[in-house]
Structure 1
Amino acid sequence: MNRIFETPLYPYTRSADQDALSAPHHRVVVVGAGPVGLAAAIDLALQGVEVLVLDENDKVSFGSRAICFAKRPLEILDRLGAGQRMVDKGVVWNLGRVFFRDREVYSFNLLPESGHRRPAFINLQQYYFEKFLVDRLREIEAEGAPIELRGMNRVEAVGLHPDHVHLEITTPEGPYELTCDWLIACDGARSPIRGMLGLDFVGKVFEDNFLIADVVMEADFPTERWFWFDPPFNPGQSALLHKQPDNVWRIDFQLGWNIDRKEELKPENIDRRLRAMLGEDIRYELEWSSIYTFQCRRMEKFRHGRVIFAGDSAHQVSPFGARGANSGLQDADNLCWKLRLVIEGKAPESLLDSYDVERIQAADENILNSTRSTEFITPKSEISRIFRDAVLDLSEHHEFARPLVNSGRLSVPAVHDGSPLNGPDALFGAPARTRPGAPATDAPLGQGFLLDRLGNRFVLLALGTEAPERLEEQGIIAEGLTVAPSQIGKELRERYLGEAPSAVYLIRPDQHVVARWPAFDETATRAALNRATARS
């Protein structure tokens, strides 16, 4: 059995801050060394922003926890330098199957088109993900990036002031204090930072419980997502099966509402459920188990002065759909370039208000989809169950019914329609998938892929037309990327041109589209750059 989560990965060491006569000051402090906090810290440090990560633990997470990582977060991790090791270790999958009672009713493919560097999803235990991010943090730290990670440093109090944040911290060697310009709270669903500021979630807790069992076993199930409604081994409830690396299988059992948690977590009761599903002769080892309740909630605002919440500390959704960690990584991706520009004095603080606008929109989409999934998986009345079962029966033979089946709408990136940062959409006949507010879609380009060429900067992407190699507007630089007509392949044309003969796209550092035109227009581009940085 893998014991990676038992080894201190960033053990406590005394810092110079603990011996200072007055509270030392840092540019940015990130609280929480989970996936979102580590990604945010690495992103900022790669952009030259000094950042300190504080975590009350010194190890990666216990148990696999988040396991499904979607294509867009993998693309973000590519930019941070950790995507390839995730994919190399992870289990790649695109296919899912849905079962009703004892029969398969249909299957689906999440990435039916070609021309993408990354798969629709990989499965990877969260402890590996955290280890890869800590490894990457150590790499850039050794290369001189302004980043530090302190384990066994627990934040006990937060003082929020107009121009700084004051922190009181405890360690194995006693307390100390520090201040920072900005605090990013990535300290999880039970966020102590949120509690210290007297803030809370709004939303809904659903009346149902699910058992997670991570099982190490040799099995011949394919690397697909299998979901059962009302299976013979868990009648009246649901179940889910996913493969992870190292022959670890994630199995979820719906339990119902009025349960005895301690009783359900007893090894003999977990064993009874597993053998009913997998057969009496199954040989396995239980690596981790837990019980969770569906919750679809968020903070009313993610930014409170100089404290900004991201990931589970800001919002919660049910695990079905893989929207938690994937959404949190997109929070960090959205926030960090904006925070850098504010710190550098190139954008007003109001740019950070767009983080609230865009990521609350994304959280609301996730909550809506997660709520709908929960209501389909756990019908709350007999008539709801009758309709649900009728849809499942129809889906076996009738394609029109399959979109109505909801075993967890899987994570997709948010399109920020209506964002205050969006510029004009002046490209007629162009695909909707790459409109302003949408994340750039990958496509083959030369010997590589488009997203690798975009990086974490503003880019003027010119397709079949000309654009300058570099455009500067009040300290904001957009780098040109011109693709000649002979280099425009089928996928790039379909995803960015459509019926248009040529196009110029302005793309943000988080690779979301700002605006698009049929040709370069300097005045319009400068206006769009100012709008994208909240300067107009």
Structure 2
Amino acid sequence: MPATSANRVIIVGAGPVGLVCALSLASRDIPVLVLEANDDLFMDLRAGSFHPPSLEVLEPIGVTARLLELGIAVHRWQWRDRSEGVIGTFELGLLSDETAYPYRLHLEQHKLTPLLMDMLRPIPHATVMFSRRVTGVTQDGERIRVRADGPDGPETHDGGWVIGCDGGGSIVRKAAGIEFTGFTYPERFALISTPYDLGQHGFSDTAYISHPVEWCAVFRLPHEGPPGMWRFLYGCRPDQSEEIELSEEVVEERLQSVLPRPQRYETIHKTIYRVHQRVAETFRNGRMLLAGDAAHLNNPIGGFGLNSGVQDAMNLTDKLVSVIRGDADESVLDRYVRQRRTVTIENIQEQSIRNKRLLEETDPVVRRERLEDMRSASADPKRAKDIVMRSSMIASMRRADAIA
């Protein structure tokens, strides 16, 4: 397809969702321009888990095979309690008759974006421009115009469509006049990385540890090689400053509370951030489209954020290709909105909120009931499979596919 401004897709944001959109389109001969505000790829330390449906949808564009070379296949996850230890272990092998990828793949998000860039570089009709802070987007019936501040001053870029993959503060979403409703948690979340191997103490590569105050999730990532790197995710005290929460003393106290040891923990990375539960009122306004964090935000317990963004990207670009080629009319893009927004609300938002509540339940009676329910579910193959179908996002993907 000849590259013209009429069929070019402008993507705002060169994070994983933006670059997946770009590769999906460019690999099918759709010209793309990616505009990124930073002067290089952003090293986001947060996400690091790929669920089976994400591996499935990334397979046709060649990404999954490369991820498998780099990541750690995680075949089970644990639900633990601070006082009682392991409550239940959930085996992802129960999914072997549902998917070719019956496991989670752990890989740092900041290793995905360079991989996607490497795949985009040889494609002549794919351009990624850094140091371009988008300041506005307008549309008429036939085109999009994007304004950006570049290294040499203001720029304008014309295209047929724009996809906002520019995060929770999305300029594209604001330009489209789309509300972003929901709430922000009062506490911030801390993410602490250590080379100490929790696996030698019986921790599975993903484990959730409940406690009324000091709940925690831990997971192992490849880092620079075996035994990899372990990350601790936990909620901070709302009344404490970032400086105090990331101090050596407080971090050491929190890690020791999860797994006491005589030696101090070595930490590689420390970060703290606000967490939101928000969903855009729609993911489309004419030729302006949203995907990933620009469309929805959720807490990280369960690893749904990056995965839902990747699944948005592939669902949207599959439909946009058919529109640009003339194989479908624009109404197919409204199906994208119905599919992805519905599962965002019904599945991703609901389950991520529920996961946090399960971990931090304070009522002792309710807490006991929920722990016993998790214990019995892990011992019942049918109930355990229902849980891993939801936690692996297979159930939400099938729900989306069923929406006409």
How far is 1:387 from its partner? 0.6
Distance of 1:158 and 1:50 partners within structure 2: 19
Mapped to 2, the partners of 1:355 and 1:219 lie a distance apart of 41
Note if contact 2:6-2:143 (Cα within 8 Å) is conserved in structure 1.
no
Q: Which runs of 5+ in 2 are unaligned?
A: none
Q: Is 1:287 aligned to 2:273, yes or no?
A: no
**Residue-by-residue CA offset, 1:72-109 (whole Å, 9 max, x unaligned):** 11122221112122111111102111212232111111
Q: Distance in 1 between matches of 2:398 and 2:207?
A: 31
Is residue 192 from structure 1 mapped to residue 175 from structure 2 by the alignment? no
1:40·1:332 contact (CA, 8 Å) conserved in 2? yes
Q: Corresponding residue for 1:112?
A: 94
* Structure number with bigger Rg: 1
**1:171 aligned onto 2:150:** yes
Over 3 Å counting, the alpha-carbon distance change for 1:92 and 1:147 in structure 2 is: same
Q: Please name the residue that 2:357 is paired with.
A: 375
2:55 — aligned with what?
Answer: 74
Q: In the alignment, which residue of structure 2 is the partner of 1:89?
A: 70
1:51 aligns with 2:20: no
- Name the CA shift for 1:179/1:343 in 2 (closer, same or farther; >3 Å): same
With normalisation by structure 1, the TM-score equals 0.66
Question: Residue 391 of structure 2 aligns to a residue in which SS?
Answer: coil
Contact conserved, 2:208 with 2:359, CA < 8 A, in 1?
Answer: no
Contact 2:90–2:388 (8 Å) recurs in 1: no
Distance 1:291 1:69 in 2: 21
Q: Secondary structure at the match of 1:357?
A: helix
Q: CA RMSD in A?
A: 2.9
Deviation at 1:396, TM superposition (A): 4.2
Cα distance in 1 between the residues matched to 2:264 and 2:315: 45
- String of CA shifts for 1:237-282, please: whole Å, max 9, x gaps: 3111100012221111233443333321223322332244342414
Whichever residue aligns with residue 92 of structure 2, its letter is L
Match of 2:110 in 1: 127
Distance 2:272 2:283 in 1: 28
Counterpart in the other structure of 2:343: 362
Say which structure is richer in helix: 2
CA distance in 1, matches of 2:292, 2:197: 34
SS at 2:93's partner residue?
A: coil
Quote the offset at 1:192 in angstroms.
Answer: 2.4
Q: CA deviation at 1:207?
A: 3.8
Answer whether contact 2:78 2:204 (CA < 8 A) is retained. Answer: no
Change (3 A) 1:389 1:149: same
- The alignment status of 1:237 with 2:220, answered yes or no, reads no
CA contact (8 A) 1:56 1:155 kept: yes
- CA distance 1:97–1:268, change in 2 (3 Å): same
The question of 1:391 aligning with 2:377 is answered no
Counterpart amino acid of residue 288 in structure 1: K
Note the C-alpha offset of 1:331: 0.9
State the alpha-carbon separation in 2 of the partners of residues 113 and 306 from structure 1: 38
Q: 1:341 Cα deviation (Å)?
A: 1.7
Output the CA distance in 2 between the equivalents of 1:129 and 1:297. 25
Structure 1 residue aligned with 2:290: 309
Tell me which residue corresponds to 1:500: none
In structure 1, how many angstroms separate the alpha carbons of the residues matched to 2:388 and 2:102? Answer: 20
> Which residues of 2 match residues 500-515 of structure 1 at below 5 A?
none
Question: Deviation at 1:416?
Answer: 5.8
Residues 389, 248 of structure 1: CA spacing in aligned structure 2 closer, same or farther, 3 A cutoff?
Answer: same
State the match for 1:182 in structure 2. 161
1:198-230 CA-partner distances (Å, limit 9, x unpaired): 433112334443221122345544552111112
Structure 2 distance, partners of 1:41, 1:390, is 47
Report how far residue 402 of structure 1 moved.
7.7
Cα deviation digits, residues 378-409 of structure 1 (max 9, x gap):
33xx54x5312332146446747986x99996
Amino acid at match of 1:248: M
1:152-171 correspondence to structure 2 within 5 Å: 152-171=131-150
What secondary structure is seen at the aligned counterpart in 1 of 2:274?
Answer: strand
**Residue pair 1:25, 1:178 contacting (<8 A) in 2 also:** no
CA, structure 1 residues 411+397, in 2 after alignment: closer, same or farther (shift >3 Å)?
A: closer
Cα displacement (A) at 1:283: 4.7
Which structure has more relative contact order (CA 8 Å, sep 6+)? It is 2
User: In the TM superposition, what is the alpha-carbon distance from 1:296 to its structure 2 partner?
Assistant: 2.0
> What are the within-5 Å matches in structure 2 for residues 452-491 of structure 1?
none
Q: Do structure 1's residue 151 and structure 2's residue 134 form an aligned pair?
A: no
How much does 1:117 deviate?
A: 3.8
- Secondary structure at 1:227 match in 2: strand
Partners of 1:367 and 1:394 in 2: CA distance: 22
Q: Quick one: which amino acid aligns to residue 91 of structure 1?
A: I
The reply on whether 1:248 has 2:225 as its aligned counterpart is no
